[in-house]
Structure 1
Amino acid sequence: MNGKQDLSKVSVLLVEDEAFMRRLIQRMLEDLGVGEIVLAQDGGEAVQYILNNSYAFTLILLDLEMPRVNGFEVLKYLRSAPDVGNHDLPVVILTGHAEKERVVQAVQYGIHGYLVKPVSKADLISKINRAMTKPPIDASHLK
């Protein structure tokens, strides 16, 4: 799969508290032809979108480090709350920190990939493709 893949039916929830990074990733998603991009500036807003039945997300791009409700809290809610419709929704985390412990912690919540900021378009499409076609990352491969 490459950037020419038809992503017009893909719906992404992009959760990023830094406005510049949110706009940059949004533009990359638009360039890749993603059909729907919903922006959330923090984890609390993301949870509201997840609960809103009018959105049927294909993928979540989720920053880990955010004020108020962080990415780990969103992941925990997404994977376990009874009022969430799809507990298996693919999630790719966005992080400015590639420390192994943080990645392993996120993997335990069933993520499908992670991107270290700054994000390149090639890495973004690669992670989207992986998230859409493969199971969550196996934590045993990270140890």
Structure 2
Amino acid sequence: MNLMLVDDEGFAIKLLTRQLAQLGYDSVQGYERAADAMAVLDTDAHGVDLVFCDLQMPEVDGVEFVRHLAHVGYRGALVVVSGEDDRILHA
């Protein structure tokens, strides 16, 4: 299973990559810039089975990234994560 992590916080990528490796997932690509992840998906959207995407990122936010997934025909699973406070997420 090929996983993609998209988060502007490098520490979050390292932490999640390590946790996923402990669970047996060794094919994990991490991107601190959504634009870099989008470029990969442009060439091989079907080569990724699961995407973890941060909601709040500079340049390209999580919502725009998810729209790009639809645009390239991504058919894998998606997990949207956020460090935002619950009050902000429910607004």
Output the amino acid matched with 1:63: D
- Structure 1's unaligned 5+ residue stretches are 1-9, 102-143
**Percent identity of the aligned residues?**
27
Task: Specify the alignment match of 2:5 in structure 1.
Answer: 14
Separation (CA, whole Å) in 2 of partners of 1:47 and 1:11: 15
Task: Specify the alignment match of 1:37 in structure 2.
Answer: 28
CA RMSD of aligned residues (A): 1.7
Q: Among 65, 80, 83, which residue is 1:93 paired with?
A: 80
Output the amino acid matched with 1:94: V
Cα shift readout 1:9-61 (whole Å, capped 9, x = no counterpart): x1100001111111111100111111310111121111112112287111000
Separation (CA, whole Å) in 2 of partners of 1:62 and 1:96: 11
Task: Specify the alignment match of 2:57 in structure 1.
Answer: 66
Output the amino acid matched with 1:91: L
Separation (CA, whole Å) in 2 of partners of 1:21 and 1:35: 17
- Structure 2's unaligned 5+ residue stretches are none
Q: Normalising by the residue count of structure 1, what TM-score does the alignment of the two structures yield? A: 0.56
Cα shift readout 1:103-139 (whole Å, capped 9, x = no counterpart): xxxxxxxxxxxxxxxxxxxxxxxxxxxxxxxxxxxxx
Paired residues, number: 88
Output the amino acid matched with 1:13: M
Greater fraction of residues in helix: 2
Separation (CA, whole Å) in 2 of partners of 1:52 and 1:41: 18
Moved over 6 A (4+): none
